[in-house]
Chain A
Amino acid sequence: MHARPRLFGRAYYAGPGDGRAWPYNFRKTLLKQSERDFANPIPGSYLLTVSLAQQAYRLSAFCRGLMLPANRAAFKADEMRCLRDAGLSDAEIEMVRARDWLTMVRYGVNHFLVFRLAGVAGDNLAAAGARMRGETLEQFASTRRVWEER
């Protein structure tokens, strides 16, 4: 019996040195103002749209690759090497290095992908959210009706 592959979809970051992870080289996306307005319907709220997702494709694929335990281990062992091997731009690498989840979301990475990266980087959901709000975890906790330490 053959082993079933562990990830679905063909374009994901399979690990350091993986040369076949990037079938596409997207052009620099120029967002129309109408799409920009749609993606930010009210202050502090962001939606994922086609041009944004395409602009952030590589970074998104990198985050999705963190579903694999080996990639999580590699990231923890040598973060910078992983980011370079994944072919990310300097700006993208800086977002990750700065744990700037808010910028990643605004750039076009869906938050469920961001949370996979945040988890590996040590931020649980509440911690990632506090960071997006520009608060400490304690400040954010003080705004909550109920709170569970995890």
Chain B
Amino acid sequence: MARIVAGMGSPHAPAVGAAVDRRDEESAYWKPLFDGYKPMRAWLEREKPDVIILFTNDHFTSFFLDVIPTFAIAVADRHEIADEGWGKRDLPEVPGHTELAWHLSKTLVDDGFDLAVCHRLPLDHGSLSPLSALMPHVQAWPVRVIPILVNVLHFPIPSAARCFELGRAMRRAVASFEDDLKVVALGTGGLSHQLTGERFGLIDPAWDAEFLDRLETDPRSLARLSHRELIERGGTESVEMIMWLCMRGTLSERVRRAHRNYYHATLTGYGQVIFEDLENVPR
């Protein structure tokens, strides 16, 4: 049977991917972030997961106003690299896992989560920034990836509670797959940040620290937060912290924090974590 052995959290800002491409990891500006990726890279190299379930969002790249799925799953065998308007990044196409994606979509729909199914969904920075920072400069990706897209841009967006429950349902769905696969859930997105309006640039490191604490030990209390509360504390774009709750939902109550890092950058609070699942111990 397949099992989720750990959850990871990572920012997905375009600037992170651009820094990877420029090999700018040691500059004074970027070192505090990329030092935080080193233990995550080592963990992935040591544990060699078969599949990453990637909770992220599209940024009006592959989706437009014509169709806005609340939740979507990318089921392709190979995910294309999108050109978002600044040129296509020089990255290999990302392998998917169609058989598992079929099982997940079928099981999740049966379980009450009606995901939109996408056979073709070119990936933008929401997926590629974290993947390239975790596995930099690869000729071929060492892991298969199933992106789960969450609408966080156009209201109505799903509640924090619903995202956490999607994670719970994902855990059950993965566990009922017949093949023996080692799976990691990856939650992505900035912590506190706001990219519009007169409040542009808002960051609250104290709130980000509290969020990471509670994510580890009391995620259900975060799942009770309204969008309004998230926005007041962390800015409009921080609603994407609900994708970290998707990740946390895939894990059991008891997790071991194997890594945590935080960097207060120019426009966004960047968090990084590894939570190992104590009921599905990797080794």
Contact = CB atoms under 8 A, between A and B. Distances in A.
Given A46-B236, A72-B85, A129-B267, A144 B67 contact: no
Interface stretch (A78-86, A87-95, A106-114): A106-114
Contacts of B199: 42-45
Interface of A: 6, 8-12, 38-39, 41-50, 53-54, 57, 60-61, 64, 66-67, 72, 102, 105-106, 110-114, 116, 119, 125-126, 129-130, 132-134, 140, 143-148
B197 A67 contact: no
Nearest to A12: B64
A134 B154 contact: no
B84 A67 contact: yes
A113 to B, nearest CB: 5
Contact of B196 (A53, A64, A105, A119): A105
Interface in B40-67: 59-67
A111 to B, nearest CB: 5
B195 A48 contact: no
Q: Of residues A47, A66, A113, A134, which shows the largest number of chain B Cβ atoms within 10 Å of its Cβ?
A: A47
Nearest 10 pairs of A and B residues by beta carbon: A44-B198, A44-B199, A9-B64, A129-B200, A67-B85, A112-B59, A148-B29, A111-B196, A105-B196, A44-B197
5 contacts: A45-B196, A54-B65, A102-B198, A112-B153, A133-B198
Contacts of A48: 153-155
Given A8-B62, A44-B197, A48-B155, A144 B266 contact: yes
Given A54-B65, A110-B154, A112-B60, 11 more contacts: A6-B83, A12-B64, A102-B197, A119-B85, A126-B266, A129-B200, A129-B201, A129-B267, A132-B200, A144-B266, A147-B266
Contacts of A64: 60, 64
Contacts of A148: 29, 266
Contacts of A60: 60, 64-65
Interface of B: 15, 29, 59-67, 83-86, 120, 122, 153-155, 194-201, 228, 231-232, 235-236, 264-267
Given A66-B85, A132-B196, A113 B60 contact: yes
Q: Which of A49, A64, A111 has its CB near the most chain B CB atoms (within 10 A)?
A: A111
Given A46-B196, A146-B29, A67 B65 contact: no
Contacts of B85: 66-67, 72, 116, 119
B66 A67 contact: no
Contacts of A129: 195, 200-201, 267
Contacts of B15: 125
Contacts of B266: 126, 144-148
A50 B266 CA distance: 31
Given A41-B228, A46-B197, A110-B153, A9 B267 contact: no
